[in-house]
């Protein structure tokens, strides 16, 4: 590919992702609070919502390899179609109450996540061919800084809105209208994207698909990495349905708390990505990935003690900086731990395993939490223990790249 071509489509990808980040952060950050405040969801219904969120992403990862291999010469078209459905569906979740059926939210989230998984696999396959591995940390850390900055703008705007108008239906209408408009802009930019590397299509029957999974998982380093991510994701998502419920119903907080938490976390993610960009040449991926788990492990315990908005903001700043390192290096692992012929199968298996683990753990956590307040608190403690154990596991078993 020519330098001019690469620069043009790199800019298109970045600009599309900036608007995607703006829209998705509003839609996804507030969908649980919207379910609680406007639709009146209980903790068990939030658990179901979180389960659907994650399980349908896993389902999308299950069906997408056959589709992508069959039309791999048109993988950018697949990326365009399914990512557009994903972001527009998410932006429509905040209008679920118009139907007078609170379970419409389940359907929209299911569509968004199913299509998002397919679009994400096509995107990952395309970007892995577009960006050289040796430049990946530098390029992704720089791009992540821009994406996080866009998210910050979205969240700061929402804080101002909820602060002035309050936690009302009107606030949600304005937020989700902004999400819908930026989703359309993101889609328009994505339509301009082209594939710079041609991959030949190949039809897959069920037997060939299963053999592809088997071959990919026969690699010791791929199997160790997928197992590590699945178990770690299970531990992280045990309180997945409880964070916003705890803030609103236990700490008696508001949407402003949720916005401030996400702003401080996103700010830390942006700063972390910038710092990593400055020192990318010194990074040893396995070491960074495992060490970042230690501060990530502390967050559930700190959350239980952070009963004011100020404390919540501080611990999310701490958490976001830790996650910036983990997310960046995990993204590099996802794209480059497998060879090109195994990449789609590995990404698919990783998505299936980690999202099924997350869906199961979040629903389990919600069920246990519905028993009593003490049971709810125990879920946060269990998440702390599980995360910390994965630091020890990762230090011994996580492969290097």
The two tokens of residue 351 are 């998505």
- Whether residue 51 contacts residue 362, with contact meaning beta carbons closer than 8 Å, is answered with yes
pLDDT recorded at residue 229? 94
Q: What is the per-residue pLDDT across 295-329, written as a single tens digit (0 to 9) for each?
A: 999 999 999 999 999 999 999 999 988 898 898 88
Q: What distance in Å separates the CA atoms of residue 393 and residue 227, rounded to the nearest whole number?
A: 10
Residue 172: pLDDT above 60? yes
The pTM for the full model equals 0.79
Residue 307 has φ and ψ, to the nearest 5°, of -90, 5
pLDDT recorded at residue 281? 60
Residue 248: pLDDT above 90? no
The two tokens of residue 322 are 């830790």
Q: What distance in Å separates the CA atoms of residue 316 and residue 381, rounded to the nearest whole number?
A: 17
How many other CB atoms are there within 10 angstroms of residue 305's CB atom? 8
Q: Which of 145, 115, 114, 152 is CA-nearest to residue 26? A: 152
pLDDT recorded at residue 361? 94
160 Cβ contact partners less than 8 Å away, ≥ 6 residues apart = none
Residue 210: pLDDT above 80? yes
Averaged pLDDT for residues 359-372: 92
For the chain, domains (ranges, CATH) are 3-397 (1.20.1250.20)
Residue 197: pLDDT above 80? no
pLDDT recorded at residue 18? 94
Rounded to the nearest integer, the mean pLDDT of the chain is 89
Averaged pLDDT for residues 342-364: 90
pLDDT recorded at residue 282? 67
pLDDT recorded at residue 384? 97
pLDDT recorded at residue 95? 96
Among 183-192, 220-229, 379-388, the range scoring the smallest mean pLDDT is 220-229
Residue 177: pLDDT above 90? yes
Q: What is the per-residue pLDDT across 65-107, written as a single tens digit (0 to 9) for each?
A: 888 888 888 999 999 999 999 999 999 999 999 998 889 999 9
pLDDT recorded at residue 2? 55
- Whether residue 195 contacts residue 65, with contact meaning beta carbons closer than 8 Å, is answered with no
Averaged pLDDT for residues 254-281: 80
Q: What is the per-residue pLDDT across 141-165, written as a single tens digit (0 to 9) for each?
A: 788 888 888 988 998 888 888 888 8
């Amino acid at each position: 590919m020519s330098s001019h071509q690469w620069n043009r489509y790199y800019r298109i990808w970045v600009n599309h992702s900036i608007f995607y980040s703006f829209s998705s952060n509003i839609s996804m950050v507030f969908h649980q609070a919207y379910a609680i405040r406007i639709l009146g969801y209980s903790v068990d219904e939030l658990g179901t919502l979180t389960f659907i969120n994650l399980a349908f992403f896993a389902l999308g990862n299950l069906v997408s390899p056959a589709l992508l291999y069959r039309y791999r010469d048109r993988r950018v078209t697949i990326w365009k179609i399914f990512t557009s459905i994903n972001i527009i569906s998410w932006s429509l979740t905040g209008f679920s109450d118009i139907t007078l059926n609170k379970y419409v939210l389940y359907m929209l989230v299911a569509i968004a996540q199913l299509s998002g998984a397919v679009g994400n696999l096509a995107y990952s396959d395309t970007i892995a061919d577009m960006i050289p591995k040796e430049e990946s940390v530098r390029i992704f850390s720089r791009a992540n800084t821009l994406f996080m900055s866009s998210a910050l703008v979205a969240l700061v705007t929402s804080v101002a809105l909820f602060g002035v108008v309050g936690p009302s239906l009107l606030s949600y209408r304005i937020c989700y209208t902004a999400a819908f408009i930026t989703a359309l802009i993101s889609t328009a930019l994505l339509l301009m994207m082209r594939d710079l590397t041609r991959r030949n299509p190949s039809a897959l029957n069920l037997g060939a698909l299963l053999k592809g999974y088997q071959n990919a998982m026969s690699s010791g380093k791929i199997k160790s990495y997928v197992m590590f991510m699945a178990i770690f994701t299970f531990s992280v998502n045990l309180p997945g349905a409880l964070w916003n419920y705890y803030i609103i119903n236990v700490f008696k907080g508001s949407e402003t708390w949720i916005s401030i938490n996400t702003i401080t976390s996103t700010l830390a993610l942006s700063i972390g990505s910038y710092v990593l960009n400055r020192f990318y040449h010194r990074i040893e991926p396995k070491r960074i990935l495992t060490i970042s788990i230690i501060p990530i492990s502390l967050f559930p315990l700190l959350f239980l003690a952070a009963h004011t908005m100020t404390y919540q903001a501080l611990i999310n700043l701490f958490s976001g900086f830790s996650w910036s390192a983990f997310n960046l290096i995990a993204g590099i692992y996802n794209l480059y731990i497998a060879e090109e012929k195994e990449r789609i199968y590995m990404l698919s298996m990783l998505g299936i395993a980690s999202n099924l683990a997350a869906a199961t753990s979040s629903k389990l956590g919600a069920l246990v939490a519905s028993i009593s307040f003490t049971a709810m608190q125990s879920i946060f403690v269990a998440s702390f223990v599980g995360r910390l154990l994965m630091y020890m596991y990762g230090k011994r078993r996580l492969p290097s790249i």
